[in-house]
Chain A
Amino acid sequence: MTSARLPPFQRFLDRYREDVLRFLVASVGRDDADDAFQETFLSALRAYPRLRADSNLRGWVLTIARNKALDVHRARGRSPVPVAEIHDRPAARAAAAANATDARDHWERVRALPGRQREVLTLRYGADLTHAEIAGALGCSEQAARRAAADGLKTLRKELDDVPASA
């Protein structure tokens, strides 16, 4: 094979299905991840025949997934709220309660962070993208991506410290 060619879509789907699902579970939660997953790959398939063969396929499909996740967040009409206020929302209260019993799941808290911090953390730790790749996906500088990640982690650390006292 002399020049790069796009693999048959099925092979692309099989190669990245776990990465995309993991990112979406982190980004929108398990309940909405299934639909977002299907929308991601159906959108990818529509654009696929026109894609350049030397594209970074993983980064490309995660960028589509990120846009689908944004749609979910917009549809929920959920403006970023501090976790302290989440307890006013019935669904969020249930989720927070679940978190109290499963300290490993920080993602519900991540989803409540302000948009940019939420996105950077889900792309960094849910999709294992580098800060440079995240900067490309979000159209910001690498430095801004690092800063948002650090701010998000700081907020999370603070909340996690506060939880035992308030629970």
Chain B
Amino acid sequence: MSLPAPDLHPGEAAALAARTAARAADEGIAEIAYARVDSPVGQLVVVATRRGLARIAYELENGGLDAILDDVALRLSPAIVEAPARLDPLRRELDEYFDGRRRHFDVQLDWALTRSGFGQRVLQQCAQIPFGATSTYKQMAIAAGSPKAFRAAGGALGSNPLPIVVPCHRVLASSGALGGYTGGLERKRLLLSIEGV
């Protein structure tokens, strides 16, 4: 004799898991919450710590959801849950931005995934470039205090963990060429066109 395991209703465990994850985020038990967000530049994965937004990833360009979360788990903490409600304020700001109704972002940022030193200074300088304006890798290097390090500036911008919100798409080559972009050049072009550049 053996006992058949109890039957579950379809979707029952998934719904309960979603409620549990939301609660874990609300009560601060989860250190990190993430959500997937649709946007005109493709599916985004957005990740927040208790301190603020730490990561925006282009799901396709950055290796897929699993790879993106594995990286965050390794570098910050594995206590990660999917909690879309936690990221609603950012989702709203992104919607407004893509609708042309928002020129800068107000959500708190957590710079935990940026490199320290020069790279971080470059990103913080980049964050100051206004909507609709552009700068160059060289200007970024100068502003970050190392005028000759424009390649390193390009590297720091290329590994920007917070694209769109920290607008590395506004940084071009001195020649006026597009340069590179973490989400691919097509997305860089699209973001610049949204801003009327």
Most chain A CB atoms below 10 A, which of B17, B21, B30, B70: B17
Pick the residue among B3, B4, B6, B69 that contacts A10 (CB under 8 A).
B69
- The size of the chain A interface, using a CB distance under 8 A, is 37
A-B CB contacts (within 8 Å), total count: 100
Main secondary structure of the interface of A (DSSP, over half): helix
Complex interface: chain B residues within 8 A of A104 (CB): 4
B17 near A13: Cβ-Cβ < 8 Å? yes
Those of A1-41 within 8 Å (CB) of chain B: 5-11, 13-14, 17-18, 20-22, 25-26, 34, 37-38, 41
Interchain CB contact under 8 A, A6 and B73:
yes
Interface residues of B (CB under 8 A from A): 1-6, 8, 12-14, 16-17, 19-21, 23-24, 27, 29-31, 34, 66, 69-70, 72-74, 77-82
Are A10 and B13 closer than 8 Å at their CB atoms?
Answer: no
A selection of 22 A-B contacts at a CB cut-off of 8 Å is A6-B78, A10-B34, A10-B80, A10-B81, A11-B66, A13-B17, A18-B8, A21-B13, A42-B20, A46-B29, A48-B79, A49-B31, A104-B4, A105-B6, A106-B3, A107-B3, A110-B3, A121-B3, A128-B5, A153-B3, A156-B1, A156-B3
Note all chain A residues with C-beta closer than 8 A to B34.
Answer: 10
**Contacting residues, chain A, for B5 (C-beta < 8 A):** 22, 26, 125-126, 128
- Pick from A10, A17, A22, A110 the residue with the most CB of B within 10 Å: A10
Is A76 positioned at the interface, with any CB of B under 8 Å from its CB? no
**Cβ B20 vs Cβ A5 within 8 A:** no
Give the CA-CA distance A20 to B30 in the complex, in Å: 19
Other-chain contact of B81, A45, A121, A125, A156 (Cβ < 8 Å): A45
